[in-house]
Structure 1
Amino acid sequence: MNFYQSAGSLVLGSRLRRIGEKFLSEVAKVYEMKGIDFDPSWFPIFYLLDKNTSMSLREISDELGVSHSAVSQLTTALIKKGHLLMEKDINDGRKRILQLTPQGESLVETSKPIWSALQASVKELSALGDNRLLEELTTLENSLSERNLSDRVLEKLK
C-alpha cells in the first residue's frame, strides 16, 4: 500500500490533485500523439461554447465555479490563438460575449472522438463505473458547497 492509500482521507486533496494532474497529462499526450493542438485545460470553455453557442465571461465563470479572472486569462489566450471571438453585448456594453470561431469549431469537431474515447476509457478504469464515480464526486462537491471542510474540522476540535 502506498502513502496516499495508507493516509486515507488525511490526504484526500493531495490525492485528488495528483490524480487530476496525471489524468490531464495523459489526455494531453493523446492530443499530441493525434497531432491536435489542444490543451486539456481548454476543454471546459470549448465544451460550454459548443453546447451554448455563445456565453458571457460571467456565465462561464459561474458555470465552472472559477473566478472571472481565471476565465478571462484563459479566454484571452484562446482569442490570441484564433479559437474564440469576443464581442460586446448589444444590450449591455460592459458585458463581453464569447463564441467559437470557425477555427475553434473545427478544433471541437476534431476533438470530439477523443472526448468519446476518454469517456469510455474512464468508465473502464473505475471500479465503481463512470456514473457512480461521478455521482460520488458530485455528492462531495455539493456537501462542500453546503458547508466547507474547515468549518467541519473546526467544529470537531471544540
Structure 2
Amino acid sequence: MSEIKAVTFLTQGAISQTVALMEQDGILTREALSDGRKSALRLTPLGQSILEALELHWQSIFLTVETLEKETGWPLMQVLKTTLDALETRGVESRIQDAKIALTQGVRYDEKHD
C-alpha cells in the first residue's frame, strides 16, 4: 500500500479503507508475500473486467479532450497537467483555507501567495 500512496497522494487511511471495500466487493484479493511483512493486491476476474471498462472510458475521455483541443485551439491537456502539478505543490484544501483567510481579512488572495 505504500507504493499506492507514493503515486496517488492519498492518505494511508483512505487507501486502506478503499482496499478493504474493494476486497469486500470482490474486486481485489490480498496475498501475503514471502517476507511476511507486505502483501500483494491482485485484481479478481471482476476487478479485471471493471479495469477494462475503465480503460475504455478513460480512452474515450482523452479522445474527447483531444477533439475539443482541435475544435477550440486551447491546450486542455497541458492546462490540466499544469493544474495537477500546482495541486501537487499545494493542495486544494490549503488553497481553500488561504482563500477563506483572504476573504475574511480583506486581502487579495493572489497577493497572499506572491
Scaled by the length of structure 1, the TM-score of the pair is 0.49
Aligned residue for 1:97, secondary structure, equals strand
Q: 1:134 is matched with which residue?
A: 80
Equivalent residue runs for 1:38-117 within 5 Å: 57-91=1-35, 93-117=36-60
Query: RMSD of aligned C-alpha atoms?
Result: 2.8
Amino acid at match of 2:10: V
Structure 1: state its 5+ residue gaps: 1-56
Count, aligned residues: 95
After TM superposition, where is structure 1 displaced by more than 6 Å over at least 4 residues in a row? none
Q: Is the 8 A contact 2:65 2:77 kept in 1?
A: no
Structure 1 residues 114 and 58, CA gap change in structure 2 (3 angstroms)? same
Shift of 1:114: 1.5
